[in-house]
Amino acid sequence: MLWTADEPFTEDAEMQQRFIDRVVVVTGGGLGIGAASARRFADEGARVAVMDLDATEVATRVALAVNGDCTDATQVNAFFDRVEATLGPIDVLFNNVGQSARERGGPFLASDEATWRFVLEVSLLTAMRASRRVAPDMRARSRGRIINMSSDAALVGDVGLADYAAAKMGVVGFTRSLARELAAQGVTVNAVCPGAIRTRAHDTLEPAVLERIRAGTPAGFIAEPADVAALVAFLASDEARFITGQTILIDGGRWMT
């Protein structure tokens, strides 16, 4: 296979149970990395709530699956009200939702402001909005984990992705600032930066493009959503209590500092 490792990631049959009785929210958890993370948390005992434009596919695997738009503040607040009423206070927030301009994307010199606003809204403001909603309660309860989805595009920079890289670097700055505000109350805030992960966006790429991505990745393969889910679950676990404000790359070595 072109994009997998010789020994692809396999989920541990003897899965740990680190999130029993914890309430976990995953935004954009209907497909891809978000869905893999929602499943991972559920498999480890969490009561998981997902908000997605289309949460159908993950609905049977989680406690609450709601169709909704994370860029709409009214829908987001209604979703969190429902999570708290049905599942209880939120222990973990995974701000996963986000995307590039995709088919509307292209070189910065040909880009337009409406597209930047779309990308910043879906990839940065969604994380700020959901965090603003849950952080006061986490602080009051002196417990909580917020994990924000960035991208290695933020650090590496990518041709045709200036708006996306800006939004995802915004996530890094937001993560560091919020981490400082909440650290003393036992709430950690971290960012994850995946490189190439095999989700539906990759299914539309030409084999030559995939090969170029693979060749530019020191590890030599394109990873699975479950690889990222494992990192997110670790950061959400009790074991990660002394890790906050960090930006963790999971990109096969594309960016090294």
Ligand X SMILES: NC(=O)c1ccc[n+]([C@@H]2O[C@H](COP(=O)([O-])OP(=O)(O)OC[C@H]3O[C@@H](n4cnc5c(N)ncnc54)[C@H](O)[C@@H]3O)[C@@H](O)[C@H]2O)c1
Q: Is the dihedral of CA 168, 170, 176, 180 positive or negative?
A: negative
**Cα gap 116→108, rounded to integer Å:** 10
CB of 109 to ligand X, least distance (A): 23
130 or 179: CB nearest ligand X:
130
31 or 64: CB nearest ligand X:
31
Strand, coil or helix: 21: coil
Q: Binding of ligand X at residue 170 (CB under 6 A)?
A: no
- 168, 151 in Cβ contact below 8 A? yes
- 99, 29 in Cβ contact below 8 A? no
| Distance (Å) of CA 203 to CA 61, 200, 214 | 24, 5, 14
143 or 191: CB nearest ligand X:
191
In degrees and rounded to multiples of 5, residue 80 shows phi and psi of -65, -35
Strand, coil or helix: 66: strand
- Which residues participate in catalysis according to the annotation? 164
From 66-74, 110-118, 131-139, 173-181, give the range in contact with ligand X by CB under 6 A: 66-74
140 or 219: CB nearest ligand X:
219
Q: How many residues lie near ligand X (CB under 6 A)?
A: 27
- Residue from 1, 6, 60, 200 in contact with ligand X (CB under 6 A): 200
Position with the least CB separation from ligand X: 32
User: Site residues (CB under 6 A) for ligand X?
Assistant: 28, 30-34, 51-54, 69-71, 96-99, 122-123, 149, 151, 194, 196-197, 199-201
